[in-house]
A and B are shown apart, each in its own frame.
Chain A
Amino acid sequence: MTPTPLDRAMDRVDAAANAPATGFDAGPPVAPPSETLAPALSYDGTTGELFRLWLKTTLLAILTLGFYRFWGRTRIRRYLWSRLSLLDDRFEYDGTGMELFVRFLLVIVVVLLPLGTIGLVLQFAGLPLIWVAVGRYATLLVVFFLSLVGHYTGQRYRLSRSLWRGIRGGLDGSAWRYGFRALGYAALGSLTLSLIKPWQNVGLWRYEARYTRLGSRYLAFEGRGRDLFKAWLWAVIGGFFAALGTIIGVLVIVSIATLAIVAATKYAGLSTPIVVNSLDVLALAGGVTAVYVIGLLAVSIVWLAITARFERNWLVYSVGRTRFGEIGFALEATTRDVRRLRIGNFLIWLLTLGLGWPFVAHRTLRFYARTLRLDTVGIERLSQSEEPSRPPASGLAELFDTTGFA
């Protein structure tokens, strides 16, 4: 792939950041990949095929006023899973649209209707303002917590419907316990300006990995947040100043444009500057919104670009320290790979308002197939688990989980 100007610019930033004189951390130590680690994963899905399938399922979803989306989601997962192979054997997804739909209905009754009723009462019962505010924040908190729980139950559902060589995956552990952990980390994160993030990543992945299994064998991860702290600290500092610079840049451009319009009005000999007197509410609101959206977009992209280095370090670290019984892993990806993946996924997500999730998943699978190395010695000894193999679908995930595979 040819590097874009953004790639080249960011490579220079990375090179500067890696120069010893600046004192930037070069990233946590990672065990050198052993001789037996080799690419064993491959992905042969194509954007064209996926686009046709996506178009078909999206049109059907529109025709059915949204109801088909559960079946469409299932078909897309079937496609993505079947294009991914390990040691030349394709994965398989055997979930059904109906189980997603039934679970979604259940969640509507158990979660959405109560929350909706509370919302209506808060809006129309004419309670004192303080209670309305308390109620709204409490509702937001509950929704946030449920989204964390939904992430876990969604992951459990997807893994339990994933098979390789007839061996079924799974995720044990408690989604509520995971939700409380994640909520705790989020609270600490907001208190510490997100400096807790390395520990958050390590803690949550340790929990999830310990319960993730294929057949009867579980993943295991050992890592320490402090190994990643320096990399994250620099990412936060760099990201903060870059974001600040972007905001200032946007404001400067807007000011210059406004001044230019005023000057042009004066130059044209009009007695009153157009901008001040007859700029109407809609134009003003539209302009403010446009500046806000463009600014937010620019800040998000700059933030993703700057923190890509940390994310790459985290991926290499977490994958390198995760084991699957006797099988070890390594990830060989450059910061540029990770940056492209994340910025691209963010833009797809944003520009399609989330409807483009299949392409986010597609790019992510392709990324892992290209970068993941593993030693597959003894993989033949994997055996089916005795655990109940098909836990119910996750309705919470249907509502709240916004990860690429939801």
Chain B
Amino acid sequence: MPDFLASYVDGVSAARRRVRASVGEHGIALAKAEGGYITTWSYDEISLVQDEGSRGPLRLARDLARLTVDDPDFPAALYAAAPRLRPGTPSRRLPGALAAIAVSVGTVAALGLALPWLTEGAVALIPIAAEERLGDREVADLQILGEPCVNAAGQAALDRLVDRLTAHAGLPFHAKVVVESVEIVNAFAFPGGRIVVLRGLLDESKSADELAGVLAHELTHASKRHALRHQMASAGIGVLAEMVLGYSTTGDLGAFIAELTYSRSEEAEADAGALVLLREAGISSAGFADFFERLSHTTEASIPTYLSNHPSPADRLAAVRAGAVEGTTPALAPTDWNALKRICADAPPSNVTPSRRKRS
């Protein structure tokens, strides 16, 4: 039986004893260094103290008693007598690791798949009045970009256009459209039928029909509750990420991903809905298509503009052209259109100016 010098504590006091450890068939016999039997540790009741690292002495535990052996020959002798104690090699741990990875990924995937369903349920719970208040608050937050345009005649003309578009639409909420004095070609649909058109987009529109197309598109986003759904989903992704990763900061990342763009199918839905609104209002869809086409050819800006967060213009243009709707009268009378074009006359120009270059 090989003998090794070791240090021993009994798990009751911190007094350390030098001992002689003999590796036997069924266990380790411990004797005082100067002679005298102490105890025998059976292999069934001891375990290795795992230390993550190959340096340092080998440590054995029996409940709270500890045996520390510094002799480099000890591990081999111990593992020969008690193979059970030999630490697992990486290849033996691989199946367990792969299973753990599979279970983790599966769990997160299941939560991710349940998310749209949970989002739908949550959206259905929100009353229309609450959605309108939410939209009002977000529109108020957006005013950090620029002043709202408040010219009374212009707003009246805009309201007439919105009324004409929504008269037969049966929207659950009363749509509110405002123009803000920001020189960016874009428009946003907020929850509760709150729509913000930026001055840049109004300036870019050549006719009331063109603007009507954009408004019909945004109104459909609103009536399908796309904005609300996106915000709910991003909040859900934030909670999910926090659960998985334990960081609260990743919520912002989730929000960013979810709110960045509408999905292709939502855009197609909004385009189709826009054509329906235009038809019911008796407005030609040619303006909508023209506006689209012109934008896709002329602008390239470093700030998100109408097309950059409305993906795949070519396909969509084709779809809008295909579903063309004949108009009975122009969207707005010429006097109204002129008034609307001057809605920002009283507002100071915004300090936010995109750098816009013509494509060569």
Q: Is the pair B239, A64 in contact by a Cβ cutoff of 8 Å?
A: no
A144 within 8 A of B: no
Among B9-17, B214-222, B289-297, B321-329, the stretch in contact with A: B9-17
Q: Is the pair B246, A66 in contact by a Cβ cutoff of 8 Å?
A: yes
A246 within 8 A of B: no
A193 to B131, CA, bound (A): 42
Q: Is the pair A64, B105 in contact by a Cβ cutoff of 8 Å?
A: yes
Q: Is the pair B16, A78 in contact by a Cβ cutoff of 8 Å?
A: no
Among B27-35, B45-53, B202-210, B309-317, the stretch in contact with A: B45-53
**Per-position binary interface string of chain A over residues 168-192, scored 1 when its CB falls under 8 Å from any chain B CB and 0 otherwise:** 1000000000000000000000000
Q: Is the pair A64, B59 in contact by a Cβ cutoff of 8 Å?
A: no
| Contact A90:B16 (CB < 8 A) given known A66-B245, A124-B232 | no
Q: Is the pair A78, B13 in contact by a Cβ cutoff of 8 Å?
A: no
**Per-position binary interface string of chain B over residues 287-308, scored 1 when its CB falls under 8 Å from any chain A CB and 0 otherwise:** 0000000000000011100000
A30 to B16, CA, bound (A): 34
Greatest chain A CB density within 10 A among B131, B132, B247, B249 is at B247
B129 within 8 A of A: yes
A112 to B355, CA, bound (A): 44
Q: Is the pair A164, B14 in contact by a Cβ cutoff of 8 Å?
A: yes
Q: How many A-B residue pairs have CB under 8 A?
A: 150
Select from chain A the residue with minimum beta-carbon distance to B66. A166
Greatest chain A CB density within 10 A among B65, B66, B129 is at B66
| Contact A89:B352 (CB < 8 A) given known A65-B244, A112-B242, A126-B134 | no
Q: Is the pair B14, A126 in contact by a Cβ cutoff of 8 Å?
A: no
Select from chain B the residue with minimum beta-carbon distance to A283. B302
Q: Is the pair B246, A399 in contact by a Cβ cutoff of 8 Å?
A: yes
> Interface size for chain B: under 10, 10 to 19, 20 to 34, or 35 or more residues?
35 or more
B333 within 8 A of A: no
Q: Is the pair A281, B129 in contact by a Cβ cutoff of 8 Å?
A: no
A35 within 8 A of B: no
B130 within 8 A of A: yes
A79 to B7, CA, bound (A): 21
List the B side residues contacting A63 at CB < 8 Å: 101, 104
A282 to B15, CA, bound (A): 67
Which 10 residue pairs spanning A and B have beta carbons closest together?
A126-B130, A126-B133, A82-B51, A382-B14, A64-B104, A79-B52, A278-B355, A67-B104, A166-B66, A380-B15
Q: Is the pair A78, B50 in contact by a Cβ cutoff of 8 Å?
A: yes
**Per-position binary interface string of chain B over residues 238-275, scored 1 when its CB falls under 8 Å from any chain A CB and 0 otherwise:** 01001111110100000000000000000000000000
Q: Is the pair A282, B302 in contact by a Cβ cutoff of 8 Å?
A: yes
Q: Is the pair B129, A123 in contact by a Cβ cutoff of 8 Å?
A: no
Q: Is the pair A166, B231 in contact by a Cβ cutoff of 8 Å?
A: no
A208 within 8 A of B: no
A381 to B12, CA, bound (A): 10
> Interface size for chain A: under 10, 10 to 19, 20 to 34, or 35 or more residues?
35 or more
Given contacts A65-B104, A380-B13, A384-B11, 5 further A-B pairs with CB under 8 A are A126-B133, A163-B64, A166-B11, A281-B354, A379-B14
B284 within 8 A of A: no
List the B side residues contacting A326 at CB < 8 Å: none
State the B residues within 8 Å of A (CB). 7, 9-16, 49-53, 55-57, 59, 61, 64-66, 68, 97, 100-101, 103-105, 107-108, 122, 126-127, 129-134, 137, 228, 231-232, 235, 239, 242-247, 249, 301-303, 352-355
A271 CB to nearest B CB, Å: 15
List the A side residues contacting B133 at CB < 8 Å: 126
| Contact A79:B53 (CB < 8 A) given known A64-B101, A126-B130, A168-B64 | yes
A282 to B228, CA, bound (A): 26
- Can you list 17 contacts pairing A with B, beta carbon distance less than 8 Å? A60-B97, A63-B101, A64-B105, A66-B246, A76-B52, A78-B52, A82-B52, A90-B57, A108-B243, A120-B232, A123-B235, A124-B228, A126-B129, A163-B64, A167-B9, A280-B303, A282-B303
Q: Is the pair B132, A120 in contact by a Cβ cutoff of 8 Å?
A: no
Q: Is the pair A65, B108 in contact by a Cβ cutoff of 8 Å?
A: yes
Q: Is the pair A124, B130 in contact by a Cβ cutoff of 8 Å?
A: yes
A215 within 8 A of B: yes
A165 within 8 A of B: yes
List the B side residues contacting A125 at CB < 8 Å: 126, 130
Select from chain A the residue with minimum beta-carbon distance to B54. A49
Q: Is the pair A382, B52 in contact by a Cβ cutoff of 8 Å?
A: no
B122 CB to nearest A CB, Å: 7
List the A side residues contacting B132 at CB < 8 Å: 126
List the B side residues contacting A108 at CB < 8 Å: 243
Q: Is the pair B53, A49 in contact by a Cβ cutoff of 8 Å?
A: yes
**Per-position binary interface string of chain A over residues 377-393, scored 1 when its CB falls under 8 Å from any chain B CB and 0 otherwise:** 00111111000000000
List the B side residues contacting A83 at CB < 8 Å: 53, 56
Q: Is the pair B10, A166 in contact by a Cβ cutoff of 8 Å?
A: yes
Residues of chain A from 33 to 71 with CB closer than 8 A to chain B in the complex? 44, 49, 53, 60, 63-69
Q: Which listed residue (B16, B56, B130, B301) contacts A380, Cβ 8 A?
A: B16
Q: Is the pair A116, B239 in contact by a Cβ cutoff of 8 Å?
A: yes
List the A side residues contacting B66 at CB < 8 Å: 92, 163, 165-166
Q: Is the pair B52, A75 in contact by a Cβ cutoff of 8 Å?
A: yes
| Contact A124:B126 (CB < 8 A) given known A215-B14, A379-B14, A380-B16 | yes
Q: Is the pair B246, A69 in contact by a Cβ cutoff of 8 Å?
A: yes
B9 CB to nearest A CB, Å: 4
A22 within 8 A of B: no
A47 CB to nearest B CB, Å: 13
A104 to B355, CA, bound (A): 49
Q: Is the pair B13, A384 in contact by a Cβ cutoff of 8 Å?
A: yes
List the A side residues contacting B61 at CB < 8 Å: 166
B184 CB to nearest A CB, Å: 8
